[in-house]
Amino acid sequence: MPNFSALPEALRAAGESSFERLPAEYRDALGDHQSALCYAFALSDFIARVCQQYPTICRAMISQSDTITLSTAEALDKKLKTCQTEEQLFAVLRQYRHHHMALIAYRDLCLDQDIEQSLHQVSLLAEQLICAAYDWLYKVFAERLGTPTYQGVPQPMQIIGMGKLGGRELNFSSDIDLIFCYPHTGTTEGGRKSVDNQTFFTRLGQKLIAALNQITEDGQVYRVDMRLRPLGSSGPLAIHHAGLEDYYQSHGRHWERYAMVKARVLNPEPNFTPALYDIIRPFVYRRYIDYTSVDALRDMKRMIKQEVRRRGLVDNIKLGEGGIREAEFIVQSFQLIRAGREKSLQTAGFSDALNELYTQGVFQSEDYLSIKSQYLLLRKVEHCLQQFDDKQTQSLPSDALGRQRLAIALSADRETYADQYAHINHAMGQIRRHFNVLIGEENHVSGESPHQEWVDVWRGEFNSDDWLAQLEPFNLSHPDEVIHQIELAHQASHKRAVGERGALLVEHLYPLLIAEILHHGKGKSQAKIQCLLASIFNILSAISGRTAYLDLLIENHGARQQMITLCGASPFIAEQLSRFPLLLDELINPSSLYEPIDHQQCAALLRQFMLRVDPDDLEWQMESLRQFKLSYQLKIAAMDVAGALSVMEVSDHLTFLAESILAFSIEIAWQQMTQKYGNPINTSEFDKGLLAVAYGKFGGIELSYGSDLDMVFLHQSERGTMTQGSRQIESAQFYQRLVQRIIHILHTVTHSGKLYEIDLRLRPQGGSGLLICHVQGFDKYQNEDAWTWEHQALTRTRCVYGSDSLVTCFNAIRQSILCRSREPEQLVNDVVSMRQKMSNHLLNQGDIASQIKHGQGGIVAIEFLTQYWILRYSALYPELTQWSDNVRLLDQLAARGLISDEERQSLTEAYLWLRAQAHNIAIGREVELSGAEYQKHRQEVIAIWQRHLIAEQSALD
């Protein structure tokens, strides 16, 4: 039995304090077992919390300590048969989960249970809870909607467990990754209301997720992650077999193959499960020896290293070098390579696969035993860390109490935390060694620089004569200025506290980059060389305390060259790299940096990027969205400065990026709101009753770097209806709070900045109006109260998120307003007057960007001309309302003879040239407006403005 008195004083105090919070009658009834329970409480706040909430578990924990086993599935089913309501179902699931998890934690922490047994118990418990909840809910939905059928045969929803749940190796505090599918399309039979199978299984899946994921007074069963399903968060919640097969054959990615190695049907049925595995196996396992898997795994590992750098993870036993993930990579890579031929390797469990690889002679006895023992040690450490407080963590503790707990929980012959820490690091070193043999990676810092003479000059005291000799071959006009610049960087680098290893890296990296910058700058002006040196020194200053990034630049010549090239081409990129060093990761693979990109790829990459983020960690979700935006925006900027994208293509990609991030942000906000308040009536994850309308540059697909997002949000909830959660609020209030949360996600400044400035002033009543209004209220406002300039703005709108019904409704309102007959005199006066007001308030003659936008013949003048023509002629030509971007609108106007083809060409060329200059300003390139090209475009726009607006205004007067 555990010895409470032998614990350190701090742990004894923690255990006694938790014990005192038990009800008195339970404390007294424990008698001689009090010290055993105090021992458990000292090591685990989770065990203490469960016993305090459900005191009846205390005696069961102590009295059965030698024979703790999980109850059978029949025991849970018996409890669920007493449930008459969903609330009762939720309570039973949570209480059952907490009871058994506390027993497992007690056995693990206090009685040194074998880790493989613990992994199996945690996985079995999860499987029982998921399947029992599914069975209960299926019956309820079948009574209400009928039984889903295909050709008269009842259809089940198949629940695929992914990750460690699929491998029966679930973490103690893990979330669960699931995929829902069903055999065939069809309709339900025998219920009060018949629906198609897709609807039935979607609603069933939503309720099953809520039964497991929703937080109630009894807490939560599991965090449920559905993002591994086809098309991720934007895909159908449940998919039929034919759709699943089509997706994997046509769109399946290598990382999905890797993930599907762990796929296991949790509720198998003999009539349907073999067909499902027949779809999965050919996708995952190739018939030939598949050595390409190693390259793909190397790429995935690189992404994990990037994640560790970005998050600044320290002592992470899962993602760190030699961690749990690398051990899994070793085994799963051989499965992907060989299991197409060796069917015995087609197993979801790590230990089963490793054992089979040993049997087949892939691993020698020594390597096999090393990998297995080190892996199980790390899994034991992971379990202990999570059992302390039922939190999903894989980082070794930094606090004294956590370190004492871990040292005692692991015990063996290593009594101190320092001993355990050394043992864990040794284990990770062994796994790293095996991983390097397979993947072919070696971390090293070369002791001999390719520019060793520059390193020698940098070391020690700064000597101007030595530097002058180094600079002589480059024929600089004023080498003393460059030497002074280097001297300041040298002094600054020695003042920073970077540690012994950091100092060694800095000593190599600074002179290496100086040499490469000077070679890169041959033939360029000294001013540009000095500007580039300043940019690179700023970046090095930003990363000087982060050895992972110093390592990256020393080891990767290509990354250094990309950094020098891009910083030399764009001060904007240089500033981004210095502010956000995480972007250095994007320089590792130049082919990826300049790879063509499209809208669908952007959304898919965002989904993949966000898969690694805990959906319950809002702070890290927000930070990750910002990191993705910065990384993707860098790709666009790199292709921009390389001349690979036109100005319209740059805007297209920046707009698609904003749309993808907006959609994901709405999904995050929706999940948070519905968990708290429930859904508004007649809404679901796939039809939220919400519409986001883009205005201005966003609406016109013309975003630039740093553009705001002009938007209006609409909803269609019925007046007076309430949400359907346990904490109900009025639906209209729900949508107000939803938009507030969306703005919070997009606008809040985190470590990586903010996503976008959000401008909602174009909504009805402007800044004094509600953040979101009903679609009928929007219709009424546009028809009765909107000003001409608001109808002008409507020409630049399009729906960027929302259900089909709301999109159709908005488009009808938009067309109705734009196609209204207008008095020409009033229209031209309103447009000219508003143009003059904007110029008076916003034009800054001393600012080039302001002149390009608001000056005579500038961007706004062209936009106002186009808007005027659309408002004037759409009553005669409704098809003019089809587009929202200026270039296509001008094409439409010319096609109908409303402007001449020469006018269309002049306005289009001027518009694109001016936008290109605006882009150049945004990425830090020099722009001058004194040239002949600017004057030509400006005069042509002014002439068209005079001819169509000023002259017409005079004629009408």
Convert the pLDDT of each residue in 421-477 to its tens digit.
999 999 999 999 888 887 665 444 444 455 778 888 887 778 888 889 889 888 888
Cβ atoms of 61 and 37 closer than 8 Å: yes
β-strand pairing of 176-182 with 690-695: unpaired
* 616 half-sphere exposure, CB direction, 13 A CA radius: 16
- Report residue 147: phi and psi, to 5°: -90, 125
Give the pLDDT of residue 72: 61
153 contacts: CB under 8 Å, gap ≥ 6: none
Task: Please report where in the chains the tokens 């009060």 appear, as a residue.
Answer: 192
Q: Please give the full DSSP string across 864-925, using - where no structure is assigned.
A: HHHHHHHHHHTTT-GGGGS--SHHHHHHHHHHTTSS-HHHHHHHHHHHHHHHHHHHHHHTT-
Looking at residue 438, what is its pLDDT? Answer: 74
6 secondary structure, DSSP code: G
219 Rama class: left (phi>0) / alpha (psi -120 to 50) / beta: left
Q: What is the pLDDT of residue 932?
A: 87
As given in the structure block, the two tokens for residue 518 are 């000077």
The partner residues of 160 in beta bridges, in order of sequence, read 179, 265
Given the structure tokens 């860098």, which residue do they identify? 634
CA–CA–CA angle 100, 102, 104 (5° rounding): 70
Q: What is the pLDDT of residue 62?
A: 74
Residue 769: burial class (beta carbons within 10 Å; 0-12, 13-18, 19+): middle
Asked if 220 and 246 touch (Cβ cutoff 8 Å), the reply is no
Rounded-to-integer distance, Cα 890 and Cα 795, Å = 12
Global pTM? 0.72
Paired sense of beta strands 798-802 and 690-695, if any = antiparallel
Angle, helix 45-53 to helix 34-43, in steps of 10 degrees: 120
Whether residue 324 contacts residue 393, with contact meaning beta carbons closer than 8 Å, is answered with: no
> Which secondary structure element, helix H or strand E, spans residue 179, and what is its range?
strand 176-182
Closest residue by Cα to residue 518 from 474, 565, 453: 474
Give residue 739's pLDDT: 96
Q: Say which residue the tokens 């033939």 belong to.
A: 523
Q: Give the position of tokens 């990363």.
A: 543
User: How big, in percent rounded to 5, are the helix, strand and coil portions of the chain?
Assistant: 65, 5, 30
* 519 CB neighbour count, 10 Å cutoff: 12
Model confidence over 309-327: pLDDT tens digits? 777 777 899 988 889 998 9
Q: Which ranges of the chain have pLDDT less than 70? A: 1, 63-73, 287-303, 306, 412-414, 439-450, 497-498, 596, 599-600, 953-957
* Helical (H) or strand (E) element with 482: helix 479-495
CA atoms in the 13 A half-sphere facing the CB of 564: 21
Residues 480 and 401: their CA atoms lie apart, in Å, by 57
CA nearest neighbour of 674 among 727, 611, 739, 747: 727
The DSSP secondary structure of 604-670, one letter per residue, reads HHHHHHHTTS-TT-HHHHHHHHHHHHHHHHHHHHHHHHTT-S-HHHHHHHHHHHHHHHHHHHHHHHH
Please report the pLDDT score of residue 4 as a whole number: 85
CA-based torsion, 106, 377, 115, 311: positive or negative: positive
CA distance 535 to 514: 12
User: For residue 34, what pLDDT is reported?
Assistant: 87
**CA–CA distance, 558 with 553 (Å, rounded to integer):** 9
User: Pick from 772, 768, 929: which is nearest to 845 by CA?
Assistant: 929
SS3 97: helix
Strand partners, 331: none
Distance CA 850, CA 880 (A): 30
Whole-number percent of the chain with pLDDT over 70: 94
Confidence at residue 64, expressed as pLDDT on a 0 to 100 scale: 56
3-state secondary structure of 74: helix
Q: Quick check: 224 and 212 in contact, CB under 8 A?
A: yes
Both tokens assigned to 871: 């408002």
CB-based contacts of 494, cutoff 8 Å, min separation 6? none
